[in-house]
Amino acid sequence: MSKLCDFVELDEEAIEPTPCQLVRGSSLSKVHNLFLLLGLQNAYVTDRGKLIGVVSVNELREVVSDIYAGKAALKYMDPSFHGA
Protein backbone atom coordinates (compact mmCIF):
# COMPACT_ATOMS: atom_id res chain seq x y z
CA MET A 1 0.00 0.00 0.00
CA SER A 2 2.91 2.37 0.67
CA LYS A 3 3.92 2.06 -3.00
CA LEU A 4 0.77 3.95 -3.97
CA CYS A 5 2.14 7.06 -2.26
CA ASP A 6 5.56 6.88 -3.96
CA PHE A 7 6.49 9.66 -6.40
CA VAL A 8 7.00 8.42 -9.96
CA GLU A 9 9.38 10.28 -12.27
CA LEU A 10 7.87 10.25 -15.76
CA ASP A 11 10.00 10.95 -18.77
CA GLU A 12 8.30 13.80 -20.66
CA GLU A 13 9.19 12.22 -23.98
CA ALA A 14 7.49 8.95 -23.04
CA ILE A 15 4.08 10.61 -22.80
CA GLU A 16 2.44 11.70 -26.03
CA PRO A 17 1.02 15.21 -25.38
CA THR A 18 -1.65 14.79 -28.06
CA PRO A 19 -2.30 11.08 -28.65
CA CYS A 20 -3.62 10.02 -32.03
CA GLN A 21 -6.52 7.60 -32.39
CA LEU A 22 -7.04 5.32 -35.37
CA VAL A 23 -10.18 3.33 -36.03
CA ARG A 24 -9.98 -0.38 -36.78
CA GLY A 25 -9.62 -0.90 -40.52
CA SER A 26 -7.68 2.31 -41.22
CA SER A 27 -5.68 1.87 -44.41
CA LEU A 28 -1.91 1.53 -44.30
CA SER A 29 -1.67 4.59 -46.53
CA LYS A 30 -3.71 6.71 -44.09
CA VAL A 31 -1.75 5.47 -41.08
CA HIS A 32 1.59 6.07 -42.82
CA ASN A 33 0.58 9.61 -43.81
CA LEU A 34 -0.56 10.44 -40.26
CA PHE A 35 2.72 9.22 -38.79
CA LEU A 36 4.71 11.24 -41.34
CA LEU A 37 2.69 14.46 -41.16
CA LEU A 38 2.27 14.54 -37.39
CA GLY A 39 5.62 13.00 -36.41
CA LEU A 40 3.88 10.37 -34.30
CA GLN A 41 5.72 7.77 -32.25
CA ASN A 42 2.58 5.70 -31.66
CA ALA A 43 -1.16 5.72 -32.26
CA TYR A 44 -4.01 4.02 -30.44
CA VAL A 45 -6.35 1.74 -32.40
CA THR A 46 -9.98 1.68 -31.31
CA ASP A 47 -13.14 -0.15 -32.28
CA ARG A 48 -16.38 1.57 -31.24
CA GLY A 49 -14.49 3.55 -28.60
CA LYS A 50 -12.73 0.52 -27.09
CA LEU A 51 -8.93 0.36 -27.19
CA ILE A 52 -7.87 -2.71 -29.17
CA GLY A 53 -4.22 -1.96 -29.93
CA VAL A 54 -1.30 0.38 -30.30
CA VAL A 55 0.76 0.94 -33.45
CA SER A 56 4.31 2.23 -33.08
CA VAL A 57 6.42 3.99 -35.67
CA ASN A 58 8.88 1.06 -35.52
CA GLU A 59 6.13 -1.46 -36.32
CA LEU A 60 4.93 0.73 -39.17
CA ARG A 61 8.46 0.93 -40.59
CA GLU A 62 8.75 -2.87 -40.40
CA VAL A 63 5.48 -3.37 -42.28
CA VAL A 64 6.41 -0.89 -45.01
CA SER A 65 9.86 -2.48 -45.33
CA ASP A 66 8.33 -5.95 -45.59
CA ILE A 67 5.94 -4.76 -48.29
CA TYR A 68 8.83 -3.51 -50.39
CA ALA A 69 10.75 -6.75 -49.74
CA GLY A 70 7.74 -8.82 -50.85
CA LYS A 71 7.25 -10.52 -47.46
CA ALA A 72 4.09 -8.70 -46.42
CA ALA A 73 1.60 -11.00 -48.14
CA LEU A 74 2.80 -13.98 -46.13
CA LYS A 75 3.64 -12.31 -42.86
CA TYR A 76 0.61 -10.07 -42.42
CA MET A 77 -2.17 -11.75 -44.38
CA ASP A 78 -1.63 -15.46 -43.67
CA PRO A 79 -2.33 -16.30 -39.99
CA SER A 80 -0.33 -19.54 -40.30
CA PHE A 81 2.90 -17.66 -41.17
CA HIS A 82 5.17 -17.51 -38.12
CA GLY A 83 8.59 -16.86 -39.66
CA ALA A 84 10.39 -13.56 -39.85
pLDDT at 58: 94
Whole-structure pTM value: 0.63
| pLDDT tens digits, 42-82 | 999 999 989 999 999 999 999 888 888 887 655 555 455 44
Q: Where are the domains of the chain?
A: 18-77
18-77, CATH topology level:
CBS-domain (3.10.580)
* Separation CA 39–CA 11 (nearest Å): 18
Q: What is the DSSP letter of 17?
A: S
